[in-house]
Amino acid sequence: MVVMNNLFPILMAEDNEHDVVATKRAWKRNSIRNPLYVVSDGEECLDYLKQRGAYSEPGSAPRPGVLLLDINMPKMDGLTALKHIRADEDLKNLPVMILTTSRADEDRVKGYDLFVNAYIVKPVGFENFAEAIRTIDLFWQLIELPMDLVR
């Protein structure tokens, strides 16, 4: 997930601790150098992105280049968080990839209606999941984001 040889942070909004551990293991296995930050629900995701509350301390919430967003989370679900992100002038262009267990057509349609960049169903089994993370990393190595998105 390199942009013009600059590493940028990746934010993951995920409430399932097993999935967080699996993601960190896949990150390490695939030697992904981008720092991974994790929040556990939609409200915390917005706090991080808007650098408020627990993330108001300078440097505690670096601007992510990509958000990996789960749908089913407590307090505020991922689709509601995405709606807030797309309505915010400073965040509306943030690349967002939904990474979820939901195969529901309704969720996919809602995600794309909110201009999600990709909708990925989490593969079953660690090997398959690690391969999916590797593929996501390869994809973002090819993408050139405007530098103001990765400030």
pLDDT in 10s for each residue of the chain, 151 residues? 434 345 788 999 999 999 999 999 999 989 888 899 999 999 999 999 999 999 999 888 999 989 999 999 989 999 999 999 999 999 999 999 998 888 889 999 999 999 998 898 988 888 888 888 888 887 777 666 655 555 5
Q: Is residue 129 part of a domain?
A: yes
Q: Is residue 151 part of a domain?
A: no
Q: Is residue 150 part of a domain?
A: no
Q: Is residue 74 part of a domain?
A: yes
Q: Is residue 28 part of a domain?
A: yes
pLDDT number for residue 78: 93
- Work out how many domains the chain is built from and give that number: 1
Q: Which CATH number is 31's domain given?
A: 3.40.50.2300
Q: Is residue 101 part of a domain?
A: yes
pLDDT number for residue 137: 82
**The one-letter amino acid at 146:** P
pLDDT number for residue 2: 38
Among 67, 75, 64, CA closest to 40? 75
Q: Is residue 66 part of a domain?
A: yes
Q: Which domain holds residue 62?
A: 2-143
Q: What is the DSSP letter of 94?
A: -
Q: Is residue 149 part of a domain?
A: no
Q: How far is CA 60 from CA 57, 85, 90, 145, in A?
A: 6, 19, 18, 23
pLDDT number for residue 144: 63
Distance CA(36)–CA(67), nearest Å, equals 10
